[in-house]
Amino acid sequence: MRIDKKEITLNDSKKILQYSLSNDNGIEIKILTLGGIITDIIVPDSKGISENIVIGWNDLNDYMDDTSYAGAIVGRNSGRIADGKIKIGEKVYEITKNQGLNTLHGGSEGFNKKVWNDSIEVNDKEVSLILESSSKDGEEGFPGNIKLRVVYSLNNENEFSINNNGISDKDTILNMTNHSYFNLSGNIKRNILDQRLTVKADKIATIREDSALTGNLIDVKGTPFDFNTSKKVGEDIEKINKQLELANGYDHPWVLTEDRGYNIKLEDDISGRGMEIYTDRKAVVIYSTNFPVDKKLTNGNVESKYDGICFETQNLPIGENYRFIEDSLIREGEEYSTTTVFKFYCI
């Protein structure tokens, strides 16, 4: 196992680093110090052909103004804060509204825009990239100075883990995630509709017309949102359903059931690639690239609808009337720590 790095100068003369984490089984993961962005996850298929299984941009400068958050660390909040307000105790804070009336993924200058400080650790068990940064009191309207630490690790069991940590000097909210778009076909040769998905969840949180949460939960049984038994991503995605219509596809939080083993599984029968996801978070927002951006992928094609699927492991976003805000609250001096593991394999 090893870690390599190279320096990159962006068009605005900003200097960043791109790290490559590699194990002994042909897996390579490339990460920028800009936003902790995962640009590539290169994984062999069942025939030993190594290809990228995440959406990435052909020009690294495209990450600077990327409204799709491809591969990035997301925070302070993940998803939308309904109506751009939070309430802690009796105090209401107005947060930057960067998507209509709502706050999306940390506001206008979220964690995806930061250039993070970097260090590495290499031992017999794994290789790790450690990124550190901070978020100032009042940044985007959020209270509290937060020290942040994100650790990306890869081992020879083909497990890639993301550990998010934070500590604040005031009561505040923190609900981080990673926004990688997966496609197991390799180099985005096909869209994700025929890839088979399993999600261990009995409920989803419903959205309103602007995609913020209503604050209500519904059972997935008998709906297009039931993935407890493996089925193709596209099997029900075009069915007549108000929630699908509002999002133009899947863009909802699934409330994960407490279950031993994986929480989420994605498999592609053609390439033979599979991926299991394990998380200590209560929910996962699954987004099926319903609104592609006008940027060129690493394969040279412009992104299209359904080219990738995000598994944004997190606690429930903050809905209408501050619903679910307790899942995002951290107290002064309390350590915030989350772990999500992606395990890659061949079917």
Cite the active site residues: 179, 312
71: left (phi over 0), alpha (psi -120 to 50) or beta: left
CA angle 205, 226, 263 (to 5 degrees): 80
Tell me the CA distances in angstroms from 70 to 25, 310, 313, 316, one per residue in order: 25, 9, 15, 20
**Which residue, among 176, 174, 175, 171, has the nearest Cα to 91 in the 3D structure?**
171
Q: Which uninterrupted H or E stretch holds 207?
A: strand 201-207
Query: Among candidates 52, 109, 46, 101, which has minimal Cα distance to 75?
Result: 109
| H helix intervals, 219-276 | 242-247
